[in-house]
Structures are given as structure tokens and as C-alpha cells.
Structure 1
Amino acid sequence: MPIRKIERDDLEFVSAICLRAFSEAVAPGLSEQGVETFTNVAAADSFASRMHGDNLMLVFTDAAAIQGVIELKEGRHVAMLFIEPACQRRGIGRQLLSTALEYARSDVITVRASLSSVTAYERFGFICSGAVGEFAGLVYQPMEKHLNSSG
């Protein structure tokens, strides 16, 4: 299977994928503060410290190259889902999400989706669950996906 848990040797590459995808799709609509906040969160050392917490981090690999990453926090919140820009729209995000949800410990999975990713999350079965918010310059749409139910 091309999906596996993240390893320490993956961190620099995973960080680079997140930053490339973010810079292309999300950063143009954010303030300097928002870009700085995300850059800090997506740094390799930030991923490294979160590896020791209650975070499931998975990567999608193909031909030995990492093409995407997902981070599921506390079994209930999608904290990161980024795909290498050249590899997007190939089902990688759906596969990563599906695998991560096998580890869900809640019937409701949440995400603070960047505004540019709302449509993708809707395709994954998430619905908007509140007003657009902002934290440290990051603008997001709260969304949730109900597991084990039709809603």
C-alpha cells in the first residue's frame, strides 16, 4: 500500500510539500501574518514535535517519492491534508483521508478548511459547520464529517 506512517526522515520533504501546496493555493489570499503562522506550523521541526503527541501522520508515496500527507489530531480533527501540487486531483487526498478515518476515535471529524479547499472537503463528505473564522492570520471554514450516519 502506498500509504504509511510518517518517519523522521520524511519531515523535510513533507514540510516542503505542505509549503508548496499552501503557497500556490492558500497564501495568495492571506495576510503576511497568516503566511508566517502556516510556515511555522508546517516546518519540519514542528512536524517532529507533533509526532510525539496524539497525532496520526500518514504519507502517500509513489515510486519512492512522497506525494501527500495527512495529520489526524486526537483521532478527531484533520490538522493537515496537503498534496504535491503536480499530483493533485488524482485521488491521493481521498485515499489519505479514507485511511486516516480508519483510526478515527469520534463519530464527528472536524477540519478548519482553507477557503480554497472547501469544495474538495465537500467532495469528501464534509459539511460547513459554522461561520468563516480567523486565527493568527489563517482564514478558515469550520467543517465536519459525520461517520456512522447519513448526516
Structure 2
Amino acid sequence: MLVRRIEQNEIVAVLDIVWDVFMQYEAPDYSKEGIETFQNSVINNNDYLNSITMYGAYEDSNIVGVIATRNSGNHIALFFVDGKYHRKGIGRKLFEVVLKNSTANEITVNSSPYAVEVYHRLGFIDSDTEQVTDGMRYTPMTYVK
């Protein structure tokens, strides 16, 4: 399993996996408004995509997982692993790249309901209760190095 920074010419494949995993695992917990917010603020937003640093996990030449950060690597903006590869350590390998490249002692994330337990297993703690903004449900969480 190779984990490396995603190149600009790979963005379409990255967005395909992000959208597919989102629709399978995240969307069932969101309202129609939340799904549209995600689509418009992430998938169809070039300014946003240009503001984040993305890393991919590859099996052979196929991308099977994505993690993206902003704020100098100190906030996880996206974290998606193809369902066929869940519970195989790929998410942990992606997170290790974030830890290596983070510039602060804390890493934050706004976790979807589906991913809260994943983040807990990585060592994150809830920093607030679940919130909803524009239909997007999330729990603010923090990891202290």
C-alpha cells in the first residue's frame, strides 16, 4: 500500500471515490440539504479543492483512500476510504501522513456521525457535542500529539 500526495491530474478520480464513499456511508445520516451542501462546498468547489492538501492510499495504481487537510495540516478536511478496504489499516496509514506533516500539537476534525468511532480509535476526543450546519451533521473532535 503506497500513500502519497495526490497530484492535480488525479483530482477527478479522487472526487469519484470521495463522492461514492460519501453517498454510501455519510449521506444516509444527512438531510437533502446536507447532501447538497457537501456536493456544492466540496465536490463542485474548485476554490475549496485548491485550498486543501490531499494524500491518497493506492493499491497498485488504484486509489482506495483519501485524506485531506487545511490550516497547515492541522485540520482534517476530508477522510474517505473505499468500503471494500475498511478495517484494513488504510485509514491509519493515511492519518500517519497527517501526523507527520502537521505543524501544531493538535489536529482537529468535524467528524460525520459515521466516522466518530473511527476517529475515537485513532485517538481523537470529542471537543463539543454534535452540531448541524446547513444540513451537515458533525462532531468537533481534537487529537493531541
TM bin (shorter chain): over 0.9
Give the TM-score, by structure 2 length.
0.92
Question: Aligned equivalents of 2:57 and 2:17: distance in 1?
Answer: 12
Other-structure match for 1:18 = 18
> What is the CA-CA distance between 1:36 and the residue it aligns to?
0.6
Matched to 2:98, the amino acid is: A
Tell me what 2:53 maps to. Answer: 56
Q: Deviations over 1:1-31 (max 9, x none)?
A: 7111111221111111111111111111211
Partner SS state of residue 116, structure 1: coil
Verify the 8 A CA contact 2:42 2:48 in the aligned structure 1.
no
**Distance in 2 between residues matched to 1:81 and 1:127, nearest whole Å:** 17
Q: 1:42, CA displacement in angstroms?
A: 3.5
Structure 1: tracts of 5 or more residues without a match: none
Instruction: Compute the TM-score of the two structures, normalised by the length of structure 1.
Output: 0.89
The aligned length equals 144
Could you tell me which runs of 5 or more consecutive residues in structure 2 were left unpaired when the two chains were aligned.
none
CA-atom RMSD in angstroms: 1.5
- Distance in 1 separating the partners of 2:47 and 2:2: 24
Q: Which amino acid aligns with 2:27?
A: A
Provide runs of 4+ in structure 1 moved above 4 Å: none
CA distance in 1, matches of 2:48, 2:4: 17
Q: 1:2-151, aligned counterparts within 5 Å? A: 2-43=2-43, 46=45, 48-50=46-48, 52-53=50-51, 55-74=52-71, 75-147=73-145
